[in-house]
Structure 1
Amino acid sequence: MKDVFISLAIVLGKRDSLTMVESYAGFLKENYSDYEILLLATEDIPNISELLRYVDKIRFLQISNTSDYEILCAAALENAIGDITIIGRLENLTKDIIEQGVSTCFEGSDIVIGCTDISCPAWYRFGSRIFRTAVSRVINYNIPINDSGLRIVSRRAANTIISKNRFHRNLFLQMNHCGYTVKTLEYRCDKRLKKPHSLAKIYNHAVSILILNSTKPLRFMNVLGLFSSFISFLFALYSVVVHLFKRNVVEGWTTQILFTSIQFFFLFLILAFLGEYILRLLSNQNNTSSYNVVLEKHSSVMLDLSRLNVISESTASEVNLTQTGRDR
């Protein structure tokens, strides 16, 4: 049994079975000295009160104002109190990955990314590779393509992440950029995962990654605007020179239309990017929270009263290399 406090945070869906939660509670009780299970959902879950009556160390949080998975994971990270926090869904959680991930954290990796086989259409894979190649030139986008959405985070990494001003946005990318050691862990889920294929969600996620994490696209648009202005100046100079040195100039309506179309293309492209950055500024100035906890429930089961807060040895048999606030 590992001497560590584990927080298992599970984002519940509408059709998730609570029997799996009870199974994970038994697994944590057998393998770790302290644990809690944090359940998060965007609506009240049927039979949750019954589960809290006979299974101990469970907290249930009902979250409003969002259905975004990364924001729900951020809420889990902010409310968890364990030395190591495991964040996932029932569909991407297994007992093996919990055990392997905690062991990997003990070895010194503060953030563990779960990677598994994911089902997605060919157009999604093709577009994802193009996007990753392009974005990697702008920001350090290093999230694996087969990311399952499972994260295992040490306490010191969690403290660093939640200390950021807007850590709820693009949480997974901020985890990779927090400065601590990140490691990927391949595993097999009970069922093959599927990526969401909604074009609106894909577009919003892509724009959010590009706009919220770098000002380089805005700098590129500034350069593009200056280049367009320079081209306009050259064209104006060309028209004046032709008018001065050549008589009976043929009407250049084709060239004019082509040039005007190109200039308007650049103009509206620049305006679109400026609009996204203005939206970012307005969003950052908005004081509303990314999520709200509208309901919180706890297990009503009595804790183990026979357990004493006294130990016979001052040092643990297995050292956690990512622990915080203790002698190593």
Structure 2
Amino acid sequence: MDNKIKEANFVSAVIYIHNNEREITPFLEWLDTQLDLNFEKYEIICVDDGSMDASEEAVRAYGKNRAKEAVSLLHMSYFQGLEVAMNAGVDLAIGDFVFEFDTVCMDYKTELLMQVYRRSLEGFDIVSASAMRKNKWTSNLFYRVFNHFSKTQYKIQNETFRILSRRAINRVHSLSKTIPYRKVLYANCGLLADCISYTPSQKLERSFSDEQAKMRRTLAVDSLVLFTNIGYKAAVTMTGVMMVATLAAAIYAVAVFALGNPIQGWTTTILFLAVSFFGLFSILTIIIKYLSLILQLVFKKQKYSFSSIEKITK
């Protein structure tokens, strides 16, 4: 009787772990129970990203003694960061739908898990859950700058977890052989996406190791370079400033030559330097434009993009 009310879709849950020995067991217990209650078949994939504590032992103990369905433990060779580790876990997943848990710290109610899943059944290939809380100013600044200078279909923001359809995973992999920042490609893959906002049930104090903090900063800078036109905009702005400065220097040099008694060669030198700097910034602008086009071809462009397929006849 219970099997009839369970979802027939096979789901995978990919969990990122880095020094989470205290949180991973209760999280696995909660997730395993909820998936067992709602799905006929599922799998749980734990990706250990170079943990230095007993996280692996905790996952292994739960999987052997208490797990209701298959639990896999993926060992990264060394610490490689959230994005790379989660890409490895998603590549291993075989589910029709894949949950991505970037953290095992929970500040949401149990029902949100199935709420996100059911939303995906309404035609959304990517559905995320985002907490309505005050984020750090650095995170707010990054998302504000990124969303302003990027041309993604959807705005990106802090997310707690998400679900992807198999079609979304295939689409993202067709966009790029490497996935440097999942959220950006998800927002730009052309498929329908949605975000469910929730009020946190508790306040979480998330701390990051030095390795994680460094990786997050690097990811932020790389994402701004790869997926926005902020570099090109800056180059164009500097070229415009140099154009104005060149014109002003030229007028000043000519005025001094005509009205004053300049040192021999001074006017020529000033004019040469002004024109040279203007030419240099113009060349840099052209180079940055070409680089941005190459990046778009590598990470953003696809042959075509569609959001859904509607079957009119059965």
State if a TM-score over 0.5 links the two structures.
yes
User: Which position in structure 2 is the counterpart of 1:35?
Assistant: 42
Matches within 5 A, 1:243-322: 243-248=256-261
Q: Which residue of the other structure, out of 66, 87, 91, is the alignment partner of 1:78?
A: 91
Alignment of 1:46 with 2:57, yes or no, is: yes
For 2:169, the aligned partner's letter is A
User: Which position in structure 1 is the counterpart of 2:173?
Assistant: 162
The alpha carbon displacement at 1:132 in A equals 4.0
| Alpha carbons of structure 1 residues 64 and 99: separation in structure 2 relative to 1, 3 Å | same
Alignment of 1:172 with 2:183, yes or no, is: yes
The alpha carbon displacement at 1:207 in A equals 1.8
Q: Per the alignment, in what secondary structure is the counterpart of residue 86 of structure 2?
A: helix
Unaligned runs of 5+ in 2: 1-5, 299-307
> What do residues 60-87 of structure 1 show as CA deviations (whole Å, max 9, x unaligned)?
1011344422332222222111011111
The alpha carbon displacement at 1:228 in A equals 5.0
User: Which position in structure 2 is the counterpart of 1:116?
Assistant: 131
The alpha carbon displacement at 1:200 in A equals 5.2
Kindly indicate whether the alpha-carbon contact (under 8 Å) linking 1:117 and 1:192 is maintained by their aligned counterparts in 2: no
The alpha carbon displacement at 1:151 in A equals 1.2
User: Which position in structure 2 is the counterpart of 1:98?
Assistant: 113
Kindly indicate whether the alpha-carbon contact (under 8 Å) linking 2:50 and 2:79 is maintained by their aligned counterparts in 1: no
User: Which position in structure 2 is the counterpart of 1:299?
Assistant: none
Q: Which residue of the other structure, out of 150, 175, 181, is the alignment partner of 1:139?
A: 150
For 1:48, the aligned partner's letter is V
Kindly indicate whether the alpha-carbon contact (under 8 Å) linking 2:49 and 2:81 is maintained by their aligned counterparts in 1: no
Higher strand share: 1
Query: What TM-score comes out, normalization by structure 1 length?
Result: 0.66
Cα distance in 2 between the residues matched to 1:190 and 1:62: 32
Higher helix share: 2
Kindly indicate whether the alpha-carbon contact (under 8 Å) linking 1:161 and 1:167 is maintained by their aligned counterparts in 2: no
Range moving further from structure 2, 165-174 or 228-237: 228-237
Alignment of 1:107 with 2:112, yes or no, is: no
Unaligned runs of 5+ in 1: 285-321
Q: Per the alignment, in what secondary structure is the counterpart of residue 115 of structure 1?
A: strand
Identity, % of aligned positions: 18
RMSD: 3.8
Query: What TM-score comes out, normalization by structure 2 length?
Result: 0.69
For 2:174, the aligned partner's letter is S
User: Which position in structure 2 is the counterpart of 1:206?
Assistant: 220
Cα distance in 2 between the residues matched to 1:190 and 1:67: 31
Cα distance in 2 between the residues matched to 1:162 and 1:194: 34
> What do residues 80-117 of structure 1 show as CA deviations (whole Å, max 9, x unaligned)?
11011111132147532221111111111110111114
Number of residue equivalences? 265
Cα distance in 2 between the residues matched to 1:232 and 1:222: 15
For 1:173, the aligned partner's letter is V
Q: Which residue of the other structure, out of 214, 223, 238, is the alignment partner of 2:236?
A: 223
Kindly indicate whether the alpha-carbon contact (under 8 Å) linking 1:52 and 1:58 is maintained by their aligned counterparts in 2: yes
